[in-house]
Each structure stands twice: as structure tokens, then as C-alpha cells.
Amino acid sequence: MATVSCSRRLALAVCTLTLVVSAGCAGSAAKTPTVASVSFEPRAELHVGDSGPLQFLMHVVTATASVPAGSVLLIANNGEVDHRIQAGTTFDTGTLHPGDETTVVLTEGELTLRDVPTGREVQLTVTPRS
């Protein structure tokens, strides 16, 4: 009889311990890491046509073509032929077919954006973020 009683007490202790541990965890929620929110809303746009100068559409009017570092630039091919925009070693859009667009996040510096097929260029100043 003593062994049955001892086995029952052991089983009862294990069940109680399991319930206590389960109850302690029930109220806690797993913490999810937070990620900084990023806005891909363009600060400026470069519309590339088949002729004429390359022109920026600035979403915030400035005296010169300038945006703060971290700004998003939308580049759109509004022409009827392929275009490719390079800014030195900063970025290269690859081939943009008619109607294609892409976005680029800019780092600070003086950029010369060049349409490779036509050789047309435009300057953009990317200022330090304030």
C-alpha cells in the first residue's frame, strides 16, 4: 500500500508542477522584434523620355535639384524605347523598358544621372540628412 500511495503522490506532484508551470506561461506573449518603418514614397521623380532634357519632378520645391540623404527617387521610362540610368558607381537601373519604373534610395553626394543610350545628363544634390 505504501508504494501505491507514494506513486500517487509522485503523480499528483508532477501534475501540479505541470499546471503551475503552464499557468505561469499562459499570460505571457511572445515578443516580436520591431522594425523601423520605411516609407518608399518618392521625394522626387525622374521621367525619362526619348528626347529633350532629363527633368526632375520634385515633391518638395527647392532652389536646386536637391533632396536629403535617404530620399527615394522614382525613375520612370515615359519613352518608346529602352533607357538605362546610371549615377557613376552609386546606382544603375539596368534596362528600363517603355512604361517601366524603379525606385532608388539615395545617399549623400553630388550625383550625375546619365541616360546611357542617349548620353543625356542631369545633376542631383543629395544633402546630409538633418
Question: In this structure, what C-alpha cell is assigned to residue 5?
Answer: 500511495
- Residue by residue, DSSP assigns 58-114 as ESS--SSSEEETT-EEEEEE-SSS-B-EEETTTEE---B-TT-EEEEE--SEEEEEE
Query: What is the pLDDT, as a whole number, of residue 57?
Result: 80
pLDDT given at position 22: 57
pLDDT at 116: 94
Domains of the chain: 44-127 (2.60.40.420)
Residue 70, Cβ density class (10 Å: 0-12 exposed, 13-18 middle, ≥19 buried): middle
> How far is residue 49's CA from residue 99's CA, in Å, rounded to a whole number?
10
List, in order, residues 6 or more apart from 32 with CB less than 8 Å away: none
How high is the pLDDT of residue 4? 56
* Helix (H) or strand (E) run with residue 54 in it: none
Task: Give the number of other Cβ atoms within 10 Å of residue 86's Cβ.
Answer: 17
What mean pLDDT value characterizes the chain? 81
Cα separations in angstroms, 91 against 31, 84, 111: 37, 11, 10
pLDDT: is 40 or 76 the higher one? Answer: 76
How high is the pLDDT of residue 39? 75
pLDDT at 109 over 70: yes
* Span 50-76, average pLDDT: 83
* Residue 56 banded pLDDT, cuts 50, 70, 90: confident
Q: Name the band, by pLDDT with cuts 50, 70 and 90, for residue 115.
A: very high
Q: Please give the pLDDT value at position 64.
A: 73
For the full predicted model, state whether its pTM sits above 0.75. no
**What pLDDT does residue 93 have?**
96
